[in-house]
Each structure stands twice: as C-alpha cells, then as structure tokens.
C-alpha cells in the first residue's frame, strides 16, 4: 500500500477557524461565532455585573436607583450612522454613548443604563469594531453609565455601510426638578455652552480630505455633568436642547415652533472656532446648520441668566459658553439673527442635508 492513498481511519473535516479578523455572516447567527464575538470583543470592554449575566434582558439592581421617592424615569433611544466610522476626536462609538446620554441629560436626567444594538456589515475589520467598542466603553466609563444589554446582527457585504449602532438609555430625573415646568416666554435668555459646528466639520473635513494646520476635533462628550452644575446654580432653567443634526438653526427653530414664541439672536455672539469657520467658508456651509455632539442650548429666565452662564463657564465642557439672544413675543415661530452690520435675517430650519454650493 503506497503512502499517497487517503487515510480513511481518521476522517478529518476541517474545524472552523477559531478566529476571524473580519466579520463574517456567522458572527450574527447566534451560534458559537456570535458567542465568541461577545466574549472576545464586547464583554471585556463593557464589563459589569448585570451584562455578565447575559440573560435575555438586563435586570437592574434596585440599588442603582436611589430611593428617596419622587424621581421620574427618562427613557430615550437613538440610531447612529456616520462615515467615516472613526474621525478626529471620536468615533461612532463615542457618539452612540454620548448622544443617548445627552438626550437623557437634556431632560435633566442622570443616566443609569444603556443598551447597545450593533448591525455589522460582513467584511468589517474586527480591529475597527474593537476600536469602536473600546471608545464606547471609555465614553460609558467617563459618563458613569453602564451598558447592560445588547444585540448583534450581521448583514451581507454591501448592505450595511460598515457598522451602525442603536443605543437606548434610561435615566433618573431627580425629585423636585423644575426643568421644563413652564414654556419659554418673552424675556427669557438663550445661552449656548460653547463653539458650534465642531463635530460636523470634523467629520466633513475627513470625508472631503481637507487638511488644516490643526485638525478639527469632534466635540463629542457627555453633558449630564454640565447640566447638573447648571441646574444646581439655576434651578429655573426653562429648557435644554442639544443642537445635533441641523445644528443651532434646527434647535432654535424647534424651540420657536414648539413654544409659539420668537427668538432673536446676535450672530456675532455665537462662539465659532476660527478653523471651523474657515472650513465652512471653503465648503460653502453655514456653521449654524452644522451638527454638534457636545454642546447644549439653554433657555433661562432673564433673572437667572448670569448665574446660569457662570455655572456653564465654570465647567470644563462650558468654558466658551455665551449668551447669544433672547425670546421675543414678536414674529412667533421665527428665528431672527441680528448681523454684525445691524441688519436682520430670518434663520430657517435646514430642509435636509446641507448641499455644498458651487462657488
């Protein structure tokens, strides 16, 4: 018997590769590969006792909620898609944590727990996923919030744009919070917590291959600490919004539409980083319509405006906070900007995505 005959005594099906450096469809199949992804990528990053349980739903210990009574629960969800997935100052991972934390914070809530659902595209570099997951874990630690439950699905190559994340969050609104207890009214003051347009231009400048002396950094950050300081100094804050998609123009537009008031603001008073302003000029974009991921707009009673502004400025996330305008009874439903030349113009809500102008 020659040596080249097959050896049939030990059937040798190839065993599956123990490790992939790219996402394959099987990672979303719910079997061993899914388990492996959870154990190798997600669990080490998001480590906490509730998640480690890996049950069908997370059961939160009562101790996570204080028990002085009267709190209300805030609950929010948001889906995150962005290209590129990683950009100066952050990644889709930071956004997915900070964005949902901020939605809770804008209602005065202290974030408690997040869920995270991932849709991965077949072929995604596992290194990219690990980076994004590490960013989520870091953002969650910084924000003091636990990621307690999650899910992963994989879609075929070409059908997923790399990676998208949906997070939901619950938070506690402290007993006695007066935030939102009355609508905005004429005389109230509009504050913004810092420079506008940073996040959108950080992403855009990478996408368009624009290089600046100092790259524009996304402002992605959790704001509940800033909000807590603000509310402590100025408990009568009327409302808070984070000017994300559509930027300052969208947020002010929503405020006038929902409150039946007008807003007048001073264009020159809105803080804008000079590099962001230059990038907007080059691309023909309006910085007031560009997204932020770590800023808030506050409507505060005139009497408490100075204290509120001082509280914002005293916080590391609000050093460049500014008083930009006021609520007026004239022109309800309209946001009017006063130009540095003394004229006025109406600032519209953006229609859709901003389209760069030809020249």
Partner 1 sequence: MKHLAEYRDGDTARRLAAGIGKIVTRPWAIMEVCGGQTHSIIRHALDQLLPPEVELIHGPGCPVCVTPLEMIDRALAIAALPGTIFCSFGDMLRVPGSHGDLLGVKAAGGDVRVVYSPLDALELARRHPDREVVFFAIGFETTAPANAMAVRLAERGGVKNFSVLVSHVLVPPAIAAVMESPGNRVEAFLAAGHVCSVMGTLQYPPLCDRYRVPIVVTGFEPLDLLDGIRRTVVQLEAGRHELENAYSRVVTEEGNAVARAVIADVFEPCDRTWRGIGTIPASGWRLAERYAAFDAEHRFAVGGIVTAESPLCRSGDVLRGAIKPSSCPAFGRECTPRTPLGATMVSGEGACAAYYHAGRFAADREGRR
- Residue 355 binds to partner 1 (criterion: CB under 8 A): yes
* Shortest separation between residue 176's beta carbon and partner 1, angstroms: 41
Give whichever of 17 and 341 is closer to partner 1, judged by the CB atom: 341
Give whichever of 102 and 205 is closer to partner 1, judged by the CB atom: 205
Give whichever of 141 and 345 is closer to partner 1, judged by the CB atom: 345
* Shortest separation between residue 267's beta carbon and partner 1, angstroms: 9
Smallest CA-to-CA distance from 99 within 137, 139, 60 is with 139
Name the segment binding partner 1 (CB under 8 A); options: 51-59, 143-151, 153-161, 267-275.
267-275
CB 103 within 8 A of CB 76: yes
Give whichever of 39 and 330 is closer to partner 1, judged by the CB atom: 330
Task: Return the residue of 60, 275, 307, 314 that touches partner 1, per CB under 8 A.
Answer: 275
Name the segment binding partner 1 (CB under 8 A); options: 11-19, 90-98, 227-235, 274-282.
274-282
Smallest CA-to-CA distance from 224 within 304, 290, 145, 148 is with 145
Give whichever of 111 and 160 is closer to partner 1, judged by the CB atom: 160
- Residue 357 binds to partner 1 (criterion: CB under 8 A): yes
The H or E element that residue 33 is part of is helix 32-37
- Residue 84 binds to partner 1 (criterion: CB under 8 A): no
Residue 217 token pair: 């950094």
Smallest CA-to-CA distance from 99 within 75, 129, 77, 73 is with 77
**Strands, E, within the chain: which ranges?**
72-80, 86-87, 90-91, 110-121, 146-155, 163-173, 189-192, 239-241, 262-266, 297-300, 322-328, 335-338, 344-346
φ and ψ at residue 111, rounded to 5 degrees: -70, 140
For residues 44, 99, 58, 19, the Cα torsion angle rounded to the nearest 10 degrees is -30
Q: How many residues bind partner 1, per CB under 8 A?
A: 28
- Residue 81 binds to partner 1 (criterion: CB under 8 A): no
- Residue 142 binds to partner 1 (criterion: CB under 8 A): no
- Residue 257 binds to partner 1 (criterion: CB under 8 A): no
* Shortest separation between residue 42's beta carbon and partner 1, angstroms: 34
- Residue 359 binds to partner 1 (criterion: CB under 8 A): yes
Give whichever of 132 and 263 is closer to partner 1, judged by the CB atom: 263
- Residue 277 binds to partner 1 (criterion: CB under 8 A): yes
- Residue 356 binds to partner 1 (criterion: CB under 8 A): yes
* Shortest separation between residue 151's beta carbon and partner 1, angstroms: 29
> Which distant-in-sequence residues (6+ apart) come within 8 Å of 310 by Cβ?
233
* Shortest separation between residue 345's beta carbon and partner 1, angstroms: 4
Classify 91 as helix, strand or coil: strand
For the stretch 76-79, contacts whose Cβ atoms lie closer than 8 Å and that sit 24 or more positions apart, written own/partner, are 76/100, 76/103, 76/104, 76/168, 76/169, 76/171, 77/166, 77/167, 77/168, 77/169, 78/103, 78/166, 78/167, 78/168, 79/164, 79/165, 79/166
The count of residues in the chain is 359
Q: Give, as ranges, the residues between 294 and 353 that touch partner 1 (CB under 8 A).
A: 331, 334, 336, 339-348, 351
- 326: DSSP letter: E
Give whichever of 221 and 248 is closer to partner 1, judged by the CB atom: 248
CB 335 within 8 A of CB 248: no
Stretch 278-297: interaction string toward partner 1, x if CB under 8 A: x--x-xx-------------
- What b/e sequence results for 188-226 when a residue is b if at least 16 CB atoms lie within 10 Å of its CB, and e otherwise? bbbbbbbbbbbbbbbbbbbeeeeeeeeebbbbbbbbbbb
Q: Give, as ranges, the residues between 6 and 45 that touch partner 1 (CB under 8 A).
A: none
Give whichever of 212 and 236 is closer to partner 1, judged by the CB atom: 212
* Shortest separation between residue 211's beta carbon and partner 1, angstroms: 14
Q: Give, as ranges, the residues between 201 and 240 that touch partner 1 (CB under 8 A).
A: 208
Residues that bind partner 1 (CB under 8 A): 208, 268, 274-275, 277-278, 281, 283-284, 331, 334, 336, 339-348, 351, 355-359
């Amino acid at each position: 018997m020659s040596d080249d005959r097959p050896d049939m005594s030990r059937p040798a099906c190839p065993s599956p590769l123990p490790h992939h450096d790219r996402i394959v469809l099987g990672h979303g199949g719910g079997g061993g590969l899914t388990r492996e992804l959870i154990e190798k990528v997600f669990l080490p990053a998001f480590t906490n006792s509730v998640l480690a349980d890996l049950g069908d739903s997370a059961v939160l210990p009562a101790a996570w909620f204080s028990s002085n009574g009267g709190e209300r629960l805030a609950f929010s969800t948001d889906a995150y898609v962005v290209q590129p997935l990683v950009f100066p100052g952050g990644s889709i991972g930071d956004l997915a944590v900070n964005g949902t934390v901020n939605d809770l914070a804008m209602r005065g809530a202290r974030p408690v727990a997040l869920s995270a659902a991932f849709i991965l595209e077949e072929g995604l570099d596992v290194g990219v996923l690990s980076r994004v997951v590490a960013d989520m874990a870091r953002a969650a630690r910084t924000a003091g919030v636990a990621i307690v439950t999650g899910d992963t699905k994989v879609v075929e190559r070409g059908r997923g744009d790399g990676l998208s994340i949906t997070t939901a969050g619950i938070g506690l609104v402290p007993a006695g919070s007066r935030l939102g207890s009355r609508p905005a009214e004429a005389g109230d003051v509009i504050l913004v917590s810092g420079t506008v347009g940073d996040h959108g231009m950080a992403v855009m400048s990478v996408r368009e291959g624009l290089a600046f002396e100092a790259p524009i950094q996304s402002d992605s950050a959790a704001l509940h600490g800033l909000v807590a300081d603000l509310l402590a100094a100025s408990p009568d804050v009327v409302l808070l919004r984070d000017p994300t998609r559509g930027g300052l123009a969208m947020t002010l537009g929503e405020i006038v539409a929902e409150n039946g008031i007008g807003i007048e603001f001073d264009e020159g008073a809105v803080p804008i980083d000079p590099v962001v302003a230059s990038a907007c000029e080059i691309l023909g974009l309006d910085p007031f319509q560009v997204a932020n991921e770590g800023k808030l707009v506050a409507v505060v009673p005139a009497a408490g405006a100075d204290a509120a502004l001082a509280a914002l400025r005293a916080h590391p996330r609000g050093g460049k906070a500014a008083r930009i305008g006021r609520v007026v009874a004239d022109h309800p439903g309209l946001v009017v900007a006063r130009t540095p030349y003394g004229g006025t113009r109406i600032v519209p809500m953006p229609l859709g995505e901003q389209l760069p102008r030809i020249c």
